[in-house]
Structure 1
Amino acid sequence: MSKLILTNEVAGLGGAGDVVEVAGGYARNYLIPQGFAVAWSRGGEKQVASIRAARESRAIHDHEEAVSLKNTLESKAVSLTVKAGREGRLFGSVTQADVANAVKAAGLGDVDKRKVHIPSAIKSVGEHEATLRLRDDVTAVITLQVVAAK
C-alpha cells in the first residue's frame, strides 16, 4: 500500500488534496505518471493545504446556488459545433473541455472541465448526454446537440 496526495480529482478515489492509500502498482503505474497524485511525505502537508484551498476557491459553496445552476443547465440543450465527415462521424471526439467551453459559450455558467463526465465517447453528430458534478451532492445531466461545422 502506498500513501498518496491526490493533485486532481480521481473518480471513485477522491478529490484534489485528499490523502489516500492505494495499491503500490496503481500508484506507481497510473496515478503518479499521469500526474493525478504525488507521494505523501511529512512536508507534503503544506501542499495538501494549498491544494485544498485552490479546490475550495473553485467550488460552488452554496447548495441553493448549485441547485439553481443545475435547473438552468438541465432546462436547455447545449449546442456544440465540431468538424465532421459526410456521414456525421466526427474527426476525433468531443472532450470534457469542449463541453465546458460550450456550456460557458451558451451563457449557462462557468463549469470546471474536471467536473464533466461523458459516459461514452461522442464520435457522431446528434443528441448526447453528459453529467456535470456541481457539488458532491448535486449532479446535473445536460443534453448536448452535436452539430457538424459548415
Structure 2
Amino acid sequence: MQVILIQDVDTLGQANEAVKVKNGYARNYLIPRKLAVEASPSNLKQLEEKLKVKARKEAAMLAQVKQVIAALQSGPVKIGAKTGTSGKIFGSVTALQIARAIKDQKGYEIDRKRITIVDEVKELGTYKSSIDFGGGNVAEMEFEVVGE
C-alpha cells in the first residue's frame, strides 16, 4: 500500500513523502496515529501542490536571505564601546551588541544566537563575525569597534 507521510517517521521517511509499506502497517499503525494518509489520486495532487508552494516559499526566502547577506557585506557596522587610555575596551563586544548595531544601522533584525564572533574583541579595531541563516547560508561580516 502506498501512503503519504504527514510527519517524519524514523526508518521510513520524511513528512510529505510518498512511500510504499505493507497494508497492515499502514492500516494498523500509520493511519490511526495520523502519521500518514492513503495515497489516493486526490491526496497525491494535494501533496504535489503542497510541494510546489513549499518550493516557492523557499525560493522567496532564499532571495531575501541573499539580499540581507549583500547588505551586511556592503560595509562594516560600527559598534561603540567605552575605552581606557590605552585603547582597550571595558568588557568585550557581544553578539547582542552586534545584533543591535545591525538593526540600527542596516535595518535588519537578526537573532543574536545566529551570530558568531571569530576573534575575542578586547581592543578598538575591525573584526569579523559570521551569521548563520540556516540552510547552509552563512555570511561573513565585518564590524568596527570605535571608542565612545
Query: In the alignment, which residue of structure 2 is the partner of 1:32?
Result: none
Query: How far off its partner does 1:76 sit?
Result: 1.5
CA RMSD of aligned residues (A): 1.2
Code of the aligned partner of 1:129: K
Instruction: Write the distance in 2 (CA, Å) between the matches of 1:66 and 1:135.
Output: 10
Could you tell me which runs of 5 or more consecutive residues in structure 1 were left unpaired when the two chains were aligned.
1-60
2:62 aligned with 1:72: no
Structure 2: stretches of 5+ with no match in the other structure: 1-59
Give how far 1:104 is off.
Answer: 0.5
What does residue range 1-150 of structure 1 map to in structure 2 within 5 Å? 62-149=61-148
Q: How many residues align?
A: 89
Q: Give how far 1:136 is off.
A: 2.5
- 1:130–1:143 contact (8 Å) kept in structure 2: yes
Distance (Å, rounded) in 2 between the aligned partners of 1:80 and 1:138? 24
**Residue pair 2:72, 2:106 contacting (<8 A) in 1 also:** no
Q: Percentage identity across aligned positions? A: 24
Mapped partners of 2:72, 2:96: distance in 1 = 16
Moved over 6 A (4+): none
2:70 maps to a residue whose letter is N
TM value normalised by structure 1: 0.57
* Bigger Rg, structure 1 or 2: 2
* Whole-angstrom distance in 2 between the partners of 1:80 and 1:122: 11
Q: State the one-letter code of the partner of 2:71.
A: T
